[in-house]
Amino acid sequence: MVRNDEFFLRKWVDYYGAELGRENLYVFMDGRDQPVPDWCPDVNVHVCDKIPGKVVEFDKRRSRFLSQRAAELMREKGYEMAIGTDTDEFLIVDPGLKTGLAEFLSTLSPRTSYSGLGVDVGQNTTCEGEIDPSRQFLSQRRYGLLSTRYTKASVITRPVTWGSGFHRVKGHNYHIEKHLYLFHFGYLDLKRIEARITDKDRLSGGWVRHLSKRVRTINLVSRRKARSWDRWIRFARTAQTIFRPPYALNKPAMLELSIVVRIPERFSDKV
Q: How confident is the model at residue 171 (pLDDT cuts 50, 70, 90)?
A: very high
Element (H, E) at 93: strand 89-93
pTM more than 0.85: yes
Helix and strand tally (H, E) in the chain? 8, 9
Determine phi and psi for 144, rounding to 5 degrees. Answer: -150, 155
| Angstrom distance (rounded) from CA 198 to CA 191 | 11
| Angstrom distance (rounded) from CA 263 to CA 271 | 13
Which residues have a Cβ under 8 Å from the Cβ of 201 and sit 6 or more positions away? 3, 4
Task: Write the pLDDT tens digit of every residue in 226-255.
Answer: 999 999 999 999 999 999 999 899 999 999
**pLDDT score for 209:** 62
Which residue in 198, 103, 196, 117 sits closest to 151, CA to CA?
117
Task: Write the pLDDT tens digit of every residue in 95-137.
Answer: 999 999 999 999 999 999 999 999 999 999 999 999 999 999 9
Task: Write the pLDDT tens digit of every residue in 188-206.
Answer: 999 988 877 666 665 555 5
CA quadruple 101, 19, 91, 28: dihedral sign: negative
| Angstrom distance (rounded) from CA 91 to CA 84 | 10
Which value, in Å, is the radius of gyration of the alpha carbons in the chain? 18
